[in-house]
Amino acid sequence: MEVSQVFQTIDAHTCGEPLRIIVSGVPPIPGKSMLEKRQYFRDHLDPTRRILMLEPRGHDDMYGCVITDPVREGSDLGVLFMHNEGYSTMCGHGVIALVTVVVQNGMIRDSSNIRIDAPAGLVKARANMDSGRVKDVTFENVPSFVYAKDLRIENTSVDIVFGGAFYALVESSVPIDGSHLSELRDLGMRIKHSIERSRDVVHPLDTGLHGIYGTIFTGPAKSAGSHKRNVTIFAEGEVDRSPCGTGTCGVVASLVERGSLRLNEPFVHESIIGTTFVGRAIALTKVGKFEAVVPEVTGSAHVTGYHTFVVDPQDPVRTGFRITKPSNL
């Protein structure tokens, strides 16, 4: 068989949400910042995203990343996150899975102090060890804040929060479970697009961080010990199986803003499948004119496989496809 490209990946999941880490098959990615690296990947290497995220090697809810050289001084590694629509500025579940993989595979020395250079900023993480393996991972995210409150969008009240990416935050009017997923997905995308049509959402300190990444629906928890249940609809209708790491940071910022969560108080966030992250605000700060928090999130990840993917130049769908968008063929 003729092969035109070969990629090696390590696959994992964080609380049910996948992460496919590309470890070989990608050339060096230039750029003076992680946002520049992301733009270069989008402009020159996007077929790699399509090949490894979309069918037939991936699926419509696949998520992935590529490890790069860092740009910020003192960082251990850089990372670019990707999905069915394009590229993220930050990903909490991705950080948890990435740290688990690099520590368990001996790719980094100090598991207690890992500095990750992401497009949204510097993320600090530590692997919490138990009997020589990673039990769970805690990461300190970029400052998170409430960008706007009590907007009326699609006949519902919406806050806009930033937790490494911008989200619409909504108290769900329907149960957060699999039987209502199509309704949540449809409404989530309508809210996202309605906000983007009506206003420019831009980070006050970095105009490269802009736009609504997804919609977070929250509601009553189902499990004892959890405080809220959520599902995040992001990118082009993707459904986060985990409690969403950057989304949890945005929710923590909102709870602190509204006086419902104290500094260093744990907040247990439950996913649509019942898995949990523990978030907390460990410090107060400011981002431009906005009152903000420094959030911390803890969650666990597990490796699911080590893969070698090849591209057959005779394969008619070699560059990947989405069945919901047949024009991509």
Render 104-115 in DSSP notation, one character per residue. Answer: HTT--S-TT-EE
Where does residue 144 rank: exposed (0-12), middle (13-18), buried (19+ CB within 10 A)? buried
For residues 145 and 161, the answer to whether their CB atoms sit within 8 Å is yes
Fold match between domain 5-141+303-328 and domain 144-299: yes
pLDDT at 1: 73
pLDDT at 328: 38
pLDDT at 71: 97
Q: How far apart are CA 273 and CA 103, in angstroms?
A: 27
Q: What is the pTM of this model?
A: 0.96
Give the other-Cβ count within 10 Å of 250's Cβ.
Answer: 32
Map out the domains of the chain as residue ranges: 5-141+303-328, 144-299
pLDDT in tens, the chain (329 residues): 789 999 999 999 999 999 999 999 999 999 999 999 999 999 999 999 999 999 999 999 999 999 999 999 999 999 999 999 999 999 999 999 999 999 999 999 899 999 999 999 999 999 999 999 999 999 999 999 999 999 999 999 999 999 999 999 999 999 999 999 999 999 999 999 999 999 999 999 999 999 999 999 999 999 999 999 999 999 999 999 999 999 999 999 999 999 999 999 999 999 999 999 999 999 999 999 999 999 999 999 999 999 999 999 999 999 999 987 543 33
One-character DSSP codes across 118-181: ETTEEEEEEEEEETTEEEEEEEE-S-EEEEEEEEEETTEEEEEEESSSEEEEEE-SS--SGGGH
> Any idea which fold 5-141+303-328 has?
Diaminopimelate Epimerase; Chain A, domain 1 (3.10.310)
| Catalytically annotated residue among 15, 65, 91, 244 | 91
Question: Is 65 known to be catalytic?
Answer: no
pLDDT at 90: 97
For residues 101 and 94, the answer to whether their CB atoms sit within 8 Å is no
What CATH number belongs to 144-299? 3.10.310.10
Pairing of strands 156-162, 301-311: unpaired
